[in-house]
């Protein structure tokens, strides 16, 4: 007798060493971003992927093929919706029309997780294609907290806040980024999406310890982890700049930082992000499986320490 897609998914994510999903939560295993290049493979083969994540802004239409496809995949897999356009750090306030459209999407698909970035991307009526940095001070903290409160109220659920990738530090900042994030989490009750590649990129670019940064975060609030590849711009001799490109495999240093992180947090839902130069499906699954192996080893090490 063959297993249904849901049974195959449950079997693939039921390893107690990796972690168990709570009610309404993503399973604490690896997930993949949903890409059009892989849709046919997913629908035909129903592979043992822990969960899928989509960008909200790709699904804000009233109908059409993308929403129909997402409904088919949602029937068999847990889902995370990741926003990229709410501009939480904008001084001008949130766009209520955009927030309403995101809320409709969340209501329609009832994902296990919703997340957004600690950044801004709008000014007046202009929308920028980049997630721009914020200064870390009390005025900005108040703005970010008010916007997160508004989002959580409209959505009727907790959101996760993602730490940014940084290419410079702003003179207007009066506190470390990890301290700022901890204050926002404490004040709003939001969770944390810990992007390990962003931590690595920022630490290399700005000259601080990635490990100390992670230890400074409210790790009990981590609801999801992101992993991705980054590019290196070496046009300035002896001063390379790391770019959060999402266009290649995850490097060994980021895998090491991921192992360090889950050694602190335990197994968490861990997404493989790959947004351009999309690889063939086996390459994607190879990164997915490696993330699960890292978490299994971290969980086993924790058990051994507890027994010692």
Structure confidence at residue 131 (pLDDT): 63
Distance (Å, whole) CA 81 – CA 106: 8
With b for 16 or more beta-carbon neighbours within 10 A and e for fewer, the 201-233 pattern comes to bbbbbeebebeebbeebbbebbbbbbbbbbeee
DSSP state of 21: P
Q: Is 243 left (phi over 0), alpha (psi -120 to 50) or beta?
A: beta
Termini Cα distance of the chain:
44
Mark out the alpha helices in 75-227 (DSSP H runs).
96-109, 138-155, 177-188, 196-206, 210-215
Structure confidence at residue 7 (pLDDT): 44
For tokens 């079997």, the residue is 11
Distance (Å, whole) CA 283 – CA 275: 14
DSSP state of 91: T
Pairing outcome for strands 79-82 and 113-117: parallel
Look at residue 217 and give its three-state secondary structure: coil
67: CB partners within 8 A, 6+ apart: 59, 61
SS3 content of the chain, % helix, strand, coil (to 5): 45, 15, 40
**Which domains does the chain show, CATH number per domain?**
27-307 (3.20.20.150)
Instruction: Give, in degrees to the nearest 5, the angle at Cα 139 between 117 and 81.
Output: 15
CA atoms within 13 Å, Cβ hemisphere of 100: 4
For residue 131, the surrounding DSSP H or E stretch is: strand 126-132
Structure confidence at residue 120 (pLDDT): 56
Beta bridge mates, 132: 120
105: CB partners within 8 A, 6+ apart: 56, 59, 60, 81
For tokens 């849901």, the residue is 6
Structure confidence at residue 126 (pLDDT): 58
Look at residue 197 and give its three-state secondary structure: helix
Per-residue pLDDT of the chain (308 residues; tens, 9 = 90+): 233 344 434 444 444 333 333 336 999 999 999 999 999 999 999 999 999 999 999 999 888 999 999 999 999 999 999 998 899 988 888 999 999 999 999 999 999 999 999 985 655 555 545 566 788 999 999 999 999 999 999 999 999 999 998 877 777 878 999 999 999 999 999 999 999 999 999 999 999 999 999 999 999 999 999 999 999 988 878 788 999 999 999 999 999 999 999 999 999 999 999 999 999 999 999 999 999 999 999 877 654 545 54
Identify the burial level of 64 via C-beta atoms within 10 angstroms of its C-beta, where 0-12 means exposed, 13-18 middle and 19 or more buried. exposed
């Amino acid at each position: 007798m063959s297993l249904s897609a849901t049974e195959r998914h449950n079997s693939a994510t039921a390893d107690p060493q990796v972690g168990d999903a709570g009610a309404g939560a993503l399973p604490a295993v690896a997930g993949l971003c949903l890409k059009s290049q892989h849709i046919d493979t997913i629908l035909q083969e129903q592979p043992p992927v822990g969960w899928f994540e989509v960008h909200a802004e790709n699904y804000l239409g009233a109908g059409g093929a993308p929403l129909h496809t997402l409904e088919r995949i949602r029937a068999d897999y847990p889902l995370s919706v990741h926003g990229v356009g709410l501009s939480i750090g904008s001084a001008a306030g949130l766009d209520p029309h955009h927030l309403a459209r995101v809320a409709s999407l969340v209501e329609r698909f009832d994902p296990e997780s919703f997340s957004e970035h600690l950044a801004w991307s709008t000014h007046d009526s202009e929308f920028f294609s980049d997630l721009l940095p914020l200064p870390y001070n009390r005025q900005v903290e108040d703005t970010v907290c008010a916007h997160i409160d508004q989002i959580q109220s409209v959505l009727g659920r907790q959101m996760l806040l993602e730490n940014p990738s940084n290419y410079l530090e702003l003179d207007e900042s009066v506190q470390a980024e990890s301290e700022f994030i901890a204050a926002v989490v404490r004040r709003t009750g939001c969770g944390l999406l810990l992007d390990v590649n962003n931590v690595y990129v920022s630490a290399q670019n700005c000259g601080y310890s990635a490990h100390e940064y992670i230890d400074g975060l409210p790790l009990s609030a981590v609801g999801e982890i992101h992993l991705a590849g980054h590019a290196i711009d070496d046009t300035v001799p002896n001063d390379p700049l790391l770019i959060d490109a999402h266009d290649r495999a995850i490097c060994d240093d980021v895998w090491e930082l991921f192992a360090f992180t889950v050694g602190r947090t335990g197994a968490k839902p861990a997404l493989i992000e790959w947004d351009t130069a999309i690889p063939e499906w086996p390459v994607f699954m190879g990164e997915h499986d490696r993330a699960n192996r890292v978490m299994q080893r971290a969980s086993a090490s924790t058990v051994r320490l507890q027994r010692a």
